[in-house]
Structure 1
Amino acid sequence: MWSLFRLSALSLSVVVLAGCSEPRVDTSSMPAAVVSVEKVRESLPTYKRDEFDQALTIMAMSSFDGIDILNPQPLNAAEIAESANAHMHGLTGDEVIEKANEMLRNRRARERQQALNILSRLEEKQARAEHDREQRERVTLDSAEFYMSTSPYGALEPVIELAVTNGSDERLSQLSLSGVITTPGREAPWVDEAFYYVIPDGLAPGESAEWRLAPNRFGPWGNRDIPDGAQFDVTIEAIHDEEGNPLWDAPALSERQIERLEALRDEYGVMDDRSSE
């Protein structure tokens, strides 16, 4: 009798526990998902239901690429059921909420790391460009002159005279330059041409040299209408070492890259500031 009473009590407790178990989301089919989601929602306190709805939306939207789960748009029960996935199957209401929060934390962490990686790359690129610009500026054009000279045969020939100092630590073999000739009152330049000069025996660090170049007289440089005293401006576009390899040619950031860098710095700070973290 005592054993039968104990067995009956135990059986009753199992039934009670089974009856009190929390409802769980069932995504085995769309009808099951619709019914189970509603049951789980009703089992939650009123103050948790909005959070549950948002959590379901986040988990449903996570199945789609390109969807921003950090800013979820509300879905109805049918839409949730249609996009239901294994993330929510078998979970209680509280577990759904916690799972969604975990997904958001992971997504934010990934996006933060991606942003920091972009910030690091842009800062490194900017630093290389600044370093290379400073190195290029150590190779200076001390003077530049353009004029027409008369050849031994009586023909006018263009002449470019340059004085250059190599203030860098590299031996130079070639300069690529750009020359522009203008006069006041004339909108278009007389000449806007790129040219280069291969340096005989190279230009050693700390060394200066003067060169006399003879550009093609049949091209823009040979235009006889260029007046005496026209403004001649020369810039160094590229420099090559003694092996002929380009030196200090890292490009500057584009306008778009600068805007992106500034936005990331506003949000995350400068990478160097976190190097000690």
Structure 2
Amino acid sequence: MKKTILILGIIVIFLSSCAKKIDGSSEEAMKSSIEEIKNSLDDEKKEKFEESMRLIMFHQLDFGKILQEGGTEETVSDMKSKIDGQTADEIIAEGEKIQAENERKKEEQAKIEIEELYQKIEQVEKDKVILAKFEVKRSRFYKRKKGTYYVTEEPIIELTVKNGTDKAISRAYFLGTLASPARSVPWIKDDFNYEISGGLEPGEEVTWYLAPNMFSDWGKIDAPKDAVLTIKVKKLDGPNGEELYADNFGEDDQERLSELLAAYPEYKK
């Protein structure tokens, strides 16, 4: 039994010593030995070897150094010294190590991003409570004649708002939707904002007659009289133009969160 184990050990050592290795003595020798190793492998192992070589190559690259100093020759030299004397199994093992580290970093970054998106949701929910206090009491959309001979029509968004927050507001951001009761598709759904001259102090109520550009989408609308304008307050800026409250968790954010949670469901709250 001991003789059998000893013989098997000798065979393993012999096969290991006979395994083809990469020759990094020159660029030509390196290319030739790599090709020789690839030709000695079956299809599955060859694919792993080639993928591992790519991972090692990109892991070695210092793109900043190459761009700033043109260190291509130095990079090739580093690559040769890294893989010199390596067997296919050793290259594959190194590739798997790099891949595992890449996956770890990728998951770590995803975890941070997921947490940031959840924090954004929490902040938006708090902000919505305050945004609701900036009340749009009345909203209308219509067109009125303009010009000396009233040959053109300009779009008008008429809003009556009351600042129920405890902060003075310098600019308000809205999402306007003009729709008819019997239609499932609105005539327009668009964002707009208004810089408030002198600001709007807490408790103040005012009516605005906003005139969007007549060549904008608002100017192109030809909606019937039964169309109703609904307004959602999206964001409010403070006295110095700073953002106070915002409902800014949009479709892109939700799509990104869903994408990340599909890949890492363990971080779902």
- Classify the secondary structure of the residue corresponding to 1:91: coil
**2, 11, 22: which one aligns with 1:26:** 22
Superposed CA offset, 1:108-161 (max 9, x none): 2233223334433433444444443343123222345789xxxxxxxxxx9957
Is 1:269 paired with 2:265?
yes
Equivalent position of 2:254 in the other structure: 258
Check 1:134–1:23 CA distance in 2 against 1; reply closer, same or farther (3 A cut).
Answer: farther
CA contact (8 A) 2:178 2:186 kept: no
- Classify the secondary structure of the residue corresponding to 2:103: helix
**What residue identity is the alignment partner of 1:59?**
S
Superposed CA offset, 1:204-258 (max 9, x none): 2xx3x44345667xx89xxxxx999985544445423233433223633334x42
Check 1:125–1:235 CA distance in 2 against 1; reply closer, same or farther (3 A cut).
Answer: closer
- TM-fit CA distance, 1:268: 1.6
CA contact (8 A) 1:177 1:235 kept: yes
Check 1:270–1:128 CA distance in 2 against 1; reply closer, same or farther (3 A cut).
Answer: farther
Equivalent position of 1:136 in the other structure: 131
Is 1:91 paired with 2:86?
yes
Per residue, is there more helix in 1 or in 2?
A: 2
Equivalent residues in 2 for 1:226-237 (5 A)?
231=228, 233-237=230-234
Identity of aligned residues (%): 16
CA contact (8 A) 2:176 2:232 kept: yes
Equivalent position of 1:3 in the other structure: none
**What residue identity is the alignment partner of 2:118?**
E
What RMSD in Å do the two structures reach over aligned CA positions? 5.1
CA contact (8 A) 1:172 1:202 kept: yes
Equivalent residues in 2 for 1:96-175 (5 A)?
96-144=91-139, 162=160, 164-166=162-164, 168-175=165-172
Relative to the length of structure 1, the TM-score reads 0.51
**What residue identity is the alignment partner of 2:243?**
P
Equivalent position of 1:57 in the other structure: 50
Superposed CA offset, 1:73-114 (max 9, x none): xxxxxxxxxxx9554421345534432332232222233223
- TM-fit CA distance, 1:262: 0.8
- Classify the secondary structure of the residue corresponding to 1:243: coil
Q: Work out which of the two has the higher radius of gyration on C-alpha atoms and give 1 or 2.
A: 1
Check 1:118–1:240 CA distance in 2 against 1; reply closer, same or farther (3 A cut).
Answer: closer
Equivalent position of 2:153 in the other structure: none
- Classify the secondary structure of the residue corresponding to 1:62: helix
- The 2-side partners of 1:142 and 1:36 are apart by 77
**What residue identity is the alignment partner of 1:58?**
E
Equivalent position of 2:201 in the other structure: 203
Unaligned 5+ segments in structure 2 are 1-9, 60-78, 143-155, 216-222
Check 1:50–1:179 CA distance in 2 against 1; reply closer, same or farther (3 A cut).
Answer: closer
CA contact (8 A) 1:142 1:165 kept: no
Check 1:121–1:182 CA distance in 2 against 1; reply closer, same or farther (3 A cut).
Answer: closer
- Classify the secondary structure of the residue corresponding to 1:239: strand
CA contact (8 A) 2:141 2:229 kept: yes
Check 1:55–1:27 CA distance in 2 against 1; reply closer, same or farther (3 A cut).
Answer: farther
Kindly tell me the number of residue pairs found equivalent between the two proteins.
Answer: 211
